[in-house]
């Protein structure tokens, strides 16, 4: 018996059976069309990974409120029924090769660089403290160039911060719920909530960034 025999054995997550234990972690491909729909490029991208033998693919950073709350210039949207056909195309092509696929639902909160570029408010649980960091430091030169190019002509002066009221929180919850329902209709086998990178859920979970004094306060 080899050291990795279990890797190729079937697995189960809840009631979802997966053909093996190889999982493609969620990451932003930046392969969507300019309007957030899923064209041939991103459909072929996920099909190739399913054909490669992975048991489960996780489609990263699927924007629940597109274009609001996006962190990439060519991010996948799921805020409207118009996104379902392209997503269903991906699901069908992945399923054809025997793999399963989940959608990672995301809202970038204070890290929504597209909202920043287009002059929209950045939604936050509370006013963020000053942090000495460069959010672009992790980007390659190619990625940085692509982002700058995609944002030309859309720059707006100043940073607008929106500290979320309870009605905004209710709206955020509805966006996540509606996106999950659309993912189900598109045929996805599951969803994942993006709660890292100081995106909106991570912001609420953090006692550092969430200084609210109501029931949504951080701990």
Grade residue 1 by pLDDT with cuts at 50, 70 and 90.
low
pLDDT tens column, 88-114: 999 999 999 999 999 999 999 999 999
- 4 or 149: which carries more pLDDT confidence? 4
- Domain hosting residue 70, numbered range: 18-205
- Catalytic residue numbers read 199
Q: Please work out, in degrees rounded to the nearest 5, the angle formed at the alpha carbon of residue 28 by the alpha carbons of 4 and 134.
A: 115
The model's pTM is: 0.86
In a domain, 219, yes or no: no
Q: Please work out, in degrees rounded to the nearest 5, the angle formed at the alpha carbon of residue 204 by the alpha carbons of 201 and 207.
A: 135
Q: For residue 76, give the CATH number of its domain.
A: 3.20.20.70
In a domain, 130, yes or no: yes
In a domain, 133, yes or no: yes
Least confidently predicted of 29-33, 44-48, 124-128, 142-146: 142-146
Grade residue 3 by pLDDT with cuts at 50, 70 and 90.
confident
Q: How far apart are CA 39 and CA 25, in angstroms?
A: 21
In a domain, 23, yes or no: yes
pLDDT tens column, 152-211: 554 455 689 999 999 999 999 999 999 999 999 999 999 999 999 999 999 999 999 999
Q: How far apart are CA 179 and CA 187, in angstroms?
A: 12
DSSP secondary structure string for all residues of the chain = --TTGGGGS-EEETTEEESSS-EEPP-----S-TTS---HHHHHHHHHHHHTT-SEEEEEEEETTTTTT--STTPEE-SSGGGHHHHHHHHHHHHTTT-EEEEEEE--GGG-HHHHHHTPPEEESSPPPP----TTTTS-HHHHHHHHHHHTT---SS--EEEPPHHHHHHHHHHHHHHHHHHHHHT-SEEEE---TT-HHHHHH-TTT----STT---
Counted domains in the chain: 1
When pLDDT is averaged across residues 64-79 and rounded to a whole number, the result is 96
- 82 or 128: which carries more pLDDT confidence? 82
In a domain, 156, yes or no: yes
pLDDT tens column, 12-64: 999 999 999 999 999 999 999 999 999 999 999 999 999 999 999 999 999 99
In a domain, 70, yes or no: yes
In a domain, 37, yes or no: yes
In a domain, 215, yes or no: no
């Amino acid at each position: 018996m080899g050291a990795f025999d279990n890797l190729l054995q079937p697995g189960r997550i809840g009631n979802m059976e997966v053909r093996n234990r190889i999982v493609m972690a969620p990451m932003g491909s930046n392969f969507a069309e300019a309007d957030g729909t899923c064209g041939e490029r991103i459909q072929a991208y996920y099909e190739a990974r399913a054909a490669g033998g992975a048991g489960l693919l996780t489609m990263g950073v699927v924007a629940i409120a597109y274009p609001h709350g996006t962190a990439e210039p060519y991010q996948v949207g799921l805020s409207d029924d118009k996104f379902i056909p392209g997503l269903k195309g991906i699901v069908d092509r992945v399923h054809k090769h025997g793999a399963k696929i989940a959608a990672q639902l995301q809202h970038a909160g204070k890290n929504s660089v597209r909202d920043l570029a287009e002059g929209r408010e950045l939604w936050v649980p509370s006013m963020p403290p000053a942090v000495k960091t460069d959010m672009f430091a992790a980007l390659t030169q190619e990625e940085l160039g692509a982002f700058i190019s995609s944002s030309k002509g859309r720059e707006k002066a100043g940073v607008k911060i929106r500290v979320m009221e309870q009605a905004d929180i209710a709206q955020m919850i509805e966006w996540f719920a509606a996106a999950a329902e659309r993912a189900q209709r598109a045929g996805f086998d599951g969803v994942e909530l993006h709660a890292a990178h100081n995106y909106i859920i991570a912001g609420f979970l953090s006692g550092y960034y969430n200084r609210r004094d109501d029931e949504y306060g951080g701990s």
